[in-house]
């Protein structure tokens, strides 16, 4: 029996995809995801998410929805929800009010993923290496003596990142600072851009950057791991838009590589630490000694054509539509919404090409 699936996204055209709308999806990517979802032979409804009221009216007018496929990071009419770290969880809370299950991680998990202070606290609890960091509220900018001492303890250079948001909102090459004066200048710049906010000040790691994509739940499939070119520098929003043109310079870390097991373990441990579901992309960075640290977990990794996740999926033999369908399939399985046999068979053949990782059951 086909299910009624509500696809929820924040859509913008290329010119609008900047500043606080940097996390929104391009119309062409939304269209491609919708087409892929339709191929699953379910009944797909679409909503470009603006406001809670619009969402509630849509739900009531389209009763009853079996599952929401949610890539929206918040409400476009309240742009701060797109980057303040709470939007993805908030959307899920509204859906929970109507008992509508969601793809991707739960609202509790999204809250952890979208707030780097919560992410780091959770990863640290599980013994996963993270850079040395401190949390700084811009409200308390006058309390600088205490900050100065703490940053000295971490040691320069440090990088300043907004705790909420993603897609490098509030992050640029200027985020890396070598002294306290420049640090305070950058804090003011971010505050001007985003208003009062929580910042993370952390050790700048000068080595190579990696990203790991994991699909599934208890049974996980790790996509081929990307090693970014060593000279890419801080991946700001501009770099993320254009870096796909450099893909021939990207490295794939294969099983024979001595970094492989460590990366795989860090990725899977992070997935479990944040209690992720269906899909997660984890960013990691090396220090100059080659020690690898987790720097970011992405609960709603871009499903765009040019995004890292699709690049990894393509390497594993999955086309873009199959990647989208796999996320949907994993979610439907989790909720016991039996997918049709054709779809099941299609995916079964494909996942064999990925690296399978069975999680060990914790008693
Ligand atoms: N500790 C760090 N050391 C060096 N570079 C970093 C560090 N943290 C982040 N970066 C750079 O900034 C980019 C964006 O930071 P990230 O934490 O992934 O935030 P976002 O959620 O915006 O993707 C990273 O891809 C990386 O290039
Ligand atoms: Mg990141």
**CATH (domain of 58):** 3.40.50.20
pLDDT at position 142: 67
What CA–CA distance (Å, rounded) separates 266 from 320?
Answer: 25
Which residues sit with Cβ closer than 5 angstroms to ligand 2, an ion?
283, 296
Asked if residue 74 and residue 53 are part of one domain, the reply reads yes
Q: How confident is the model at residue 127 (pLDDT cuts 50, 70, 90)?
A: very high
Spatial strand order of the sheet with 176-177 comes to 133-137, 198-203, 158-162, 176-177
Asked if residue 258 and residue 166 are part of one domain, the reply reads no
List Cβ neighbours of 255 (8 Å cut-off, separation of 6 or more): 355
Q: Is the CB of 204 under 6 A from ligand 1?
A: yes
What CA–CA distance (Å, rounded) separates 90 from 9?
Answer: 14
pLDDT (mean) for 95-111? 98
Distance 164 CA to ligand 2 centre (A): 11
What SS3 state is found at 230? coil
Asked if residue 324 and residue 348 are part of one domain, the reply reads yes
Of 114, 154, 234, 241, which is best to mutate to test ligand 1, by the most ligand atoms within 8 angstroms of its C-beta? 234
Note whether residue 167 is domain-resident.
yes
Asked if residue 213 and residue 194 are part of one domain, the reply reads no
Q: How confident is the model at residue 73 (pLDDT cuts 50, 70, 90)?
A: very high
pLDDT (mean) for 304-309? 96
Asked if residue 95 and residue 153 are part of one domain, the reply reads no
Asked if residue 158 and residue 74 are part of one domain, the reply reads no
Of 82, 130, 159, 291, which is best to mutate to test ligand 1, by the most ligand atoms within 8 angstroms of its C-beta? 159
Note whether residue 112 is domain-resident.
no
Note whether residue 123 is domain-resident.
no
Asked if residue 215 and residue 352 are part of one domain, the reply reads yes
Of 227, 296, 307, which is best to mutate to test ligand 1, by the most ligand atoms within 8 angstroms of its C-beta? 296
Distance 166 CA to ligand 2 centre (A): 6
Nearest CA owner, ligand 1 atom 11: 234
Note whether residue 127 is domain-resident.
no
Total structural domains in the chain?
3
Last residue of a domain, one of 155, 178, 203: 203
pLDDT (mean) for 64-90? 96
pLDDT at position 359: 56
Last residue of a domain, one of 203, 226, 250: 203
Asked if residue 295 and residue 337 are part of one domain, the reply reads yes
Query: For 23-59, how does the pLDDT look when each residue is reduced to its tens digit (9 = 90+)?
Result: 899 999 999 999 999 998 899 999 999 999 999 999 9
Note whether residue 124 is domain-resident.
no
Q: Between β-strands 4-9 and 43-48, what pairing exists: parallel, antiparallel or unpaired?
A: parallel
Note whether residue 113 is domain-resident.
no
What CA–CA distance (Å, rounded) separates 321 from 327?
Answer: 10
Asked if residue 303 and residue 196 are part of one domain, the reply reads no
Last residue of a domain, one of 176, 203, 230: 203
pLDDT at position 167: 85
Asked if residue 159 and residue 283 are part of one domain, the reply reads no
Q: Is the CB of 278 under 6 A from ligand 1?
A: no
Specify the ligand 1 atom closest to the Cα of 240.
25
Note whether residue 116 is domain-resident.
no
Note whether residue 118 is domain-resident.
no
Residue 345 has pLDDT above 80, yes or no: no
Specify the ligand 1 atom closest to the Cα of 293.
1
Specify the ligand 1 atom closest to the Cα of 203.
1
Q: The domain spanning residue 149 has which CATH number? A: 3.30.1490.20
pLDDT at position 341: 55
Of 203, 235, 270, which is best to mutate to test ligand 1, by the most ligand atoms within 8 angstroms of its C-beta? 235
pLDDT (mean) for 234-262? 92
Distance 349 CA to ligand 2 centre (A): 31
Distance 6 CA to ligand 1 centre (A): 32
Q: The domain spanning residue 239 has which CATH number? A: 3.30.470.20
pLDDT at position 25: 97
Task: Give the residue numbers spanning the domain of 32.
Answer: 4-104
Asked if residue 260 and residue 160 are part of one domain, the reply reads no
Q: Is the CB of 209 under 6 A from ligand 1?
A: yes
Would you say 291 and 128 are in contact if contact means Cβ atoms under 8 Å apart? no
Residue 3 has pLDDT above 80, yes or no: yes
The mean-pLDDT minimum among 53-67, 142-156, 320-334 falls in: 142-156
H-helix or E-strand spanning residue 221:
strand 219-222
Length of the chain: 363
Query: For 193-236, how does the pLDDT look when each residue is reduced to its tens digit (9 = 90+)?
Result: 988 899 999 999 999 999 999 999 988 889 999 999 998 899 99
Asked if residue 197 and residue 213 are part of one domain, the reply reads no
């Amino acid at each position: 029996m086909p299910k009624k699936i509500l696809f929820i996204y924040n859509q913008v055209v290329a010119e609008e995809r900047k500043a606080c709308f940097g996390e929104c999806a391009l119309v062409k990517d939304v269209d491609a995801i919708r087409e892929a979802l339709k191929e699953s032979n379910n009944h797909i409804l679409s909503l470009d998410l603006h406001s809670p009221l619009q969402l509630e009216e849509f739900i009531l007018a389209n009763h009853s929805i079996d599952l929401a496929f949610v890539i929206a990071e918040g409400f476009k009419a309240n742009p701060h929800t797109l980057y303040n770290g709470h939007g993805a969880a908030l959307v899920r809370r509204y859906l929970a009010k109507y008992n509508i299950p969601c793809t991707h991680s739960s609202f509790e998990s999204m809250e952890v993923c979208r707030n780097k202070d919560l992410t780091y606290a959770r990863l640290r609890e599980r013994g996963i290496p993270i850079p040395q960091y401190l949390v700084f509220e811009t409200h308390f900018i006058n309390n600088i003596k205490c900050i100065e001492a703490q940053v000295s303890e971490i040691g320069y250079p440090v990088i300043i990142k907004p705790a909420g948001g993603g897609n490098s909102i509030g992050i640029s090459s200027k985020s890396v600072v070598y002294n306290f004066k420049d640090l305070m200048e950058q804090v003011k710049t971010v505050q001007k851009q985003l208003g009062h906010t929580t910042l993370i000040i952390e050790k700048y790691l000068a080595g190579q950057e990696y990203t790991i994509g994991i699909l599934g739940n208890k049974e996980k499939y790790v996509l081929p791991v990307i090693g970014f070119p060593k000279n890419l520098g801080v991946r700001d929003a501009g770099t993320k838009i254009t870096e796909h043109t450099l893909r021939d310079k990207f490295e794939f870390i294969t099983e024979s590589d001595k970094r492989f097991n460590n990366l795989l373990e860090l990725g899977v441990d992070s997935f479990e630490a944040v209690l992720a579901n269906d899909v997660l992309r984890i960013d990691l960075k090396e220090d100059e000694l080659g020690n690898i640290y987790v720097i970011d977990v992405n609960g709603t990794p871009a499903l765009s054509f040019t995004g890292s996740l699709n690049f990894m999926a393509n390497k594993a033999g999955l086309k873009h539509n199959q990647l989208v369908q796999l996320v949907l399939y994993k979610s439907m399985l989790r909720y016991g919404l039996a997918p049709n046999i054709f779809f099941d068979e299609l995916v079964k053949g494909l996942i064999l090409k990925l690296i399978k990782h069975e999680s060990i059951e914790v008693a």
